[in-house]
Structure formats: structure tokens, C-alpha cells
Amino acid sequence: MSALAAILGAQSAVSALAERVRQSTVELRSGPHHLGAGIAWGDDLVLTNAHVAADDRPEVTSARGRTRAARLIARDPARDLALLRVSALDLAPVSLGRADRLRPGMLVFAVGHPLGVVGALSTGVVHAVGTAPSRLLPPGPGQRFRWLQLDLDVAPGNSGGPVLDAAGEVVGLTTMISAGLTLAVPGEEALRWATRRLEACRRSAS
Amino acid sequence: MSSTSPGPLQALSDALAAAVEQAGRAVVAVHARPRLPSSGVHWRDGIVVTTDGTIRRTDGISVTLPDGRSANATLQGRDPGTDLAVLRIPAGSLPVAQLASEPLRPGHLVLALGRIDESGPRSSFGAVSSTGGAWRSWKGGEIDWRLQSDLTIYPGLGGGPLVDVAGLVHGVNSGGLSRGLATTIPVKTVERVLTALLARGYVARGYLGAALQAVRFSDAARQRIGLKDAGGLVVLEVDPDGPASVGGLMLGDVVVTANGKPLESPDDLLRLLGSDMVGRTLNLELVRAGARTTADLLVGERPRRSA
């Protein structure tokens, strides 16, 4: 493959993966000024950040523009994750992939709504993996967790949205900016948390 | 997307990660300041290059190697002008950086690398924004080539290398010299400063012992005196023991050429006063009391501020 063909191929692969994951990225509003993103994880389930789902009845808008009030199933402010149920919304669910194959320098992409721009794509690379040194993290409970540390430009409105790798897998959940770096909850940890909370919820319902 | 045949995007991503892994084998964490460590490049065996601005103590410096081990380092020398410092570590500790020989051009993809602990290399990504000729840093050092990129030098990445997509090193990234764009001290400057620092621990600069200011002759004066160019440097002050005084330079003299080169600004003269000129003769053409004359100065070594 010629160099130009490789660049053009990589370019169309980026737009294809952005377009695909945009269908699974929702808008989340709790209160008039609180816009965030969320990942459609099941037919009626949305995974997002706890700080995005700030009240019990956030409004979810699907990629096709339909809006419904969602119900909060679980919320963990320390890990900054929240799980919502929303019915009768045309969600296009994605599965959560693993982030443990990521290495510094690999390409990553984020989809979200930075400063209200709906479905915007950000492109960057992995800065580092593993527990971030406390010097790069704000004080608080986040210090004891693993984070994807990304060299990727995001802004308020990206929170809760997906981070993808070059294969198009959802490898994380955009969560915060610290020391200029974008920090994301790794996909496998978000999946483990959400699965456990969903099971607990089903047990208590039966 | 099929996982069996990696597409061009996956190939590019893997190539960038391979460049980080390859170049990262010669990148260490430097512990020479409180709080956040900085990065360093293992430039020659047992020699680590980092930025001067990240060295805040001269004793008790250590480095973290790529395999997680720690090693003691001693400060061999530093040059605030070019923001470079050189550390000695035990020889044979890690591979030596692979230096690039082809220059980068605007648009080339580049990575900044660093290391701050045993958790692995760190990187940021961007493209070369601007390149150009020699320039003088705001700290007064001569940098042989301008190399600026749009990538982010995150806390801790200063002193680390700028590498291309093949993992070859193009210079040392300086947070202190960066203004808006990330600025890299190119390989040529690192080599030149490194040689001087290894020889005597600092970079000597030529010294004349005179304060000069740019002036311009009127056309009439220029023709009357018989000067080719209108520019010159007027002598405002002379160090009584310095080379200028010894060579006979006087207040009010206007220096018009040095070693045959016309002088438009004090920078033109500073460029002729590199470390290689120390101990050599500089031939000046000057205008004194409206007439042309010459003076030969034996270039001295600029006194160093005591630490």
C-alpha cells in the first residue's frame, strides 16, 4: 500500500468509527445548564459519569434526537460512574472493550458534546497507562483508581462519552481533565462496575 | 471492523506505539527537583541530557531507568543559555538514543516522550509547526536551528526527546524555552553544548568588555568617511580591564565591521563571540572622531556569575 493510500485509508477509518459510535452516544441533561454525554450500553441502559447524572431524573436525548426522562439505577461518586434506565428510546447499544492492550502513543478518539457541540470527535494518543501519579490528579477519591491518561482535547460536555481505540472498540469513559490530560475510566472497570450494579438491582427486584 | 486484518488506522496507531517503545528505552526520569520529576535522554553511554530549568538541586540527583531501577546521577555541567544540563550515570545502564540525521519539516508527525516514574514512558502527539535558522533563546544561548511543534509538553515531559514516527530522536524538548508552541533544542545544539560541558562543565562565551548600541550614519556622513554600510555599534562603556580596553577601544568609537562582517545590531557581534573565538583575535574596523581606523582585540572569556 502506498503511503498516501494508507493515510487516506486511516482517514476514512476514523470517520467511519466516529459515525458508528455517534449513534451510541447520547446527550444527558440534568438541570438547564448541565450537558454531558453517555454511552448506550444496553437497549434501555445508559452508562455515564456520576457528575453528569447529577439528579434522579436526567433527560436523555438519543442520536436520532428523541428525548426521554431516565431513571437512575446506580450512582458511585467516588468512581464517578452512573447507570441509567431509559425506555422507549431508539438506542444503538455498544459493548465495552478492554483498555489493557493500550500502550503509550496509540491513537485514541473521543465522541461527546464539548461546550454543546453535539457528537464532536476528538483525536489524540495514549499519554500513559496505569495509576496516575497523585501529582497529576486532583485531591479526592479518584487518587486510588486506575485511569487512562490521554493526550486528547476534550471540554465540558464530553464527560460520560466514549473513548475509542484504533480498532473502534470503546475502551473507556471520558471523565475529567487534570494537569491538561484527559482522564478516562478504563472500559473493563466500567463494565465490571455496571454489571455488578445491574445484578444487585435485579436481585433486589426479584 | 475485522480484527484479523488490521486496517491502516490500526497500523498507524501501532507504528506510533512502536516509536514510543523504541525511543523510550533511552528515556529516564530525572529526580532533581521537589514534587514532579522531569525527563532525560540517554545521549551517550553514561551521559544523560536534560533541561537546565528542571535541575533544582546539584546534589542527591537520581534517575529512574526504563526497567524501573534507580541509579545515582552526578551533575556534569549546565548551560542556562540553551537550557541544557548533562548528568553522568553508571555506564551500560541502558541503550543509547538513536539520533535522526534527516531534518524534520512542517507537517511531519512527531511525539514528545518522557518518564517520571517506574510506570512506563509517557507521550504526546502532534505535528511540526515551524522550522527555521539559528536563533538566540531569551536566556541568551545560541540555538542552531528552530524546531517548533503543536504538541503538548505535559508536566514531567520537559527534558525528554522529540521523536519522529520511526522513533528517531530530533532533540530535547524544553518547557522553559517554549512560548505557545513546543520548542525543541535540536540535536546539533545538544551535541555542541554537550561537548563543551563534558570538557569543562560550562559553555564558555567570548567576551570583549564593552557595552555597544546600534547607530546609523547619515548618507552624507557615510560618503564623507567612505563607509560601505550605514550601520554600526557605538561604544557606550568599556570595562577598564577587558579585551576592548586593552585593544584600545574608546568611548564614542563606532565599530562598523568585525572580521569583515558588517554590524547592524549587537546580536551580529554576539554571534561572532562563540566559545571557539575565546583566545583568538577579532579585527574591528571603526570610526573615531570622523575618521576610519582599526583595532585588534584578543577575545576573552565572559566572566561567569558565581554560583
> For residue B34, what are the CA distances in angstroms to B5, B48, B159?
48, 19, 16
Looking at residue A136, what is its pLDDT? 74
Looking at residue B16, what is its pLDDT? 97
- Closest Cα in chain B to A166: B10
Annotated catalytic, A127? no
What distance in Å separates the CA atoms of residue B274 and residue B270, rounded to the nearest whole number? 8
Grid cell for residue A179: 494537569
| pLDDT > 90 in chain B, percent | 82
Contacts of A10 in chain B (CB under 8 A): 7-9, 11-12
Of B16, B24, B156, the CB nearest to A106: B16
Contacts of A168 in chain B (CB under 8 A): 1
ipTM of predicted assembly, 2 dp? 0.91
Contacts of B7 in chain A (CB under 8 A): 9-10, 13
- B8 close to A (CB below 8 A): yes
Bridge partners, B296 (sequence order): B283
Q: Does the pLDDT value for residue B35 go beyond 50?
A: yes
Contacts of A1 in chain B (CB under 8 A): 8
Bridge partners, B71 (sequence order): B63
Grid cell for residue A118: 453535539
Counting Cα atoms < 13 Å in the Cβ hemisphere of A41 gives 28
Identify from B5, B13, B21, B149 which residue to disrupt to test chain A contact, counting A C-beta atoms within 10 A and taking the largest count: B13
pTM of this structure? 0.84
CB contact under 8 A, A125 and B10: no
Tens-digit pLDDT string for chain A (206 aa): 577 888 888 999 999 999 999 999 999 998 777 899 999 998 999 999 999 998 888 999 999 999 999 999 999 999 999 999 998 888 999 999 999 999 999 999 999 999 999 999 999 999 998 766 677 777 777 778 889 999 999 999 999 999 999 999 999 999 999 889 999 999 999 999 999 999 998 888 77
Instruction: Average the pLDDT over B164-186 and give the result.
Output: 95
Looking at residue B305, what is its pLDDT? 61
In terms of DSSP bridges, do strands A67-69 and A25-29 run parallel, antiparallel, or are they unpaired? unpaired
The 10 Å Cβ neighbour count of residue A100 is 13
- Closest Cα in chain A to B123: A127
Of B1, B9, B120, the CB nearest to A107: B9
Burial (0-12, 13-18, 19+ Cβ within 10 Å), A88:
exposed
Contacts of B35 in chain A (CB under 8 A): 135
Annotated catalytic, A51? yes
- B199 close to A (CB below 8 A): no
Looking at residue B5, what is its pLDDT? 59
- B48 close to A (CB below 8 A): no
Q: What is the pLDDT of residues B43-101, one digit of tens each?
A: 999 999 999 999 999 999 999 999 999 999 999 999 999 999 999 999 999 999 999 99
Q: What is chain B's mean pLDDT, rounded? A: 93
CB burial of B20-51 (b: ≥16 within 10 Å; e: otherwise) equals bbbbbbbbbbbbbeeebbbbbbbbeebbbbbb
Looking at residue B3, what is its pLDDT? 45
pLDDT band for B307, please (50, 70, 90 cuts).
very low
- Return phi, psi of residue B217, to 5°: -80, 150
Contacts of A149 in chain B (CB under 8 A): 122
CB contact under 8 A, B11 and A17: no
- Closest Cα in chain A to B3: A167
- Closest Cα in chain A to B19: A105
Looking at residue A132, what is its pLDDT? 67
In terms of DSSP bridges, do strands B61-64 and B27-31 run parallel, antiparallel, or are they unpaired? antiparallel
Instruction: Average the pLDDT over B216-243 and give the result.
Output: 93
Alpha helices by DSSP H, listed for chain B, are: 8-24, 187-200, 219-225, 243-246, 266-270
pLDDT band for B141, please (50, 70, 90 cuts).
confident
Cβ pairs A/B, distance under 8 A:
105
The 10 Å Cβ neighbour count of residue B296 is 10
Instruction: Average the pLDDT over B193-222 and give the result.
Output: 91
Of A10, A16, A181, the CB nearest to B12: A10
Q: What is the pLDDT of residues B95-131, one digit of tens each?
A: 999 999 999 999 999 999 999 999 899 999 999 999 9
Contacts of B125 in chain A (CB under 8 A): 105, 124-125, 151
Q: What is the pLDDT of residues B186-196, one digit of tens each?
A: 999 999 999 99
CB contact under 8 A, A166 and B123: no
Looking at beta carbons, which pairs linking B188-194 to residues 24 or more positions away fall under 8 Å?
A: B188/B144, B188/B145, B189/B82, B189/B84, B189/B142, B189/B143, B189/B144, B189/B145, B190/B43, B190/B49, B190/B84, B192/B144, B193/B79, B193/B82, B193/B84, B193/B141, B194/B43, B194/B44, B194/B47, B194/B49, B194/B84, B194/B86
pLDDT band for B2, please (50, 70, 90 cuts).
very low
- B64 close to A (CB below 8 A): no
Instruction: Average the pLDDT over B133-150 and give the result.
Output: 91
> In sequence order, which residues have a C-beta less than 8 Å from that of residue A187 and are 6 or more positions away?
A96, A97, A98, A99, A169, A170, A171, A172, A173
- B184 close to A (CB below 8 A): no
User: Catalytic: which of A80, A113, A127, A165?
Assistant: A80
Nearest-CA distance from A55 to chain B in Å?
35
Looking at residue B187, what is its pLDDT? 98
- B1 close to A (CB below 8 A): yes
User: Catalytic: which of A30, A62, A122, A159?
Assistant: A159
Grid cell for residue B78: 549546565
> For residue B212, what are the CA distances in angstroms to B81, B135, B209, B268, B299?
21, 20, 10, 11, 16
The 10 Å Cβ neighbour count of residue B165 is 16
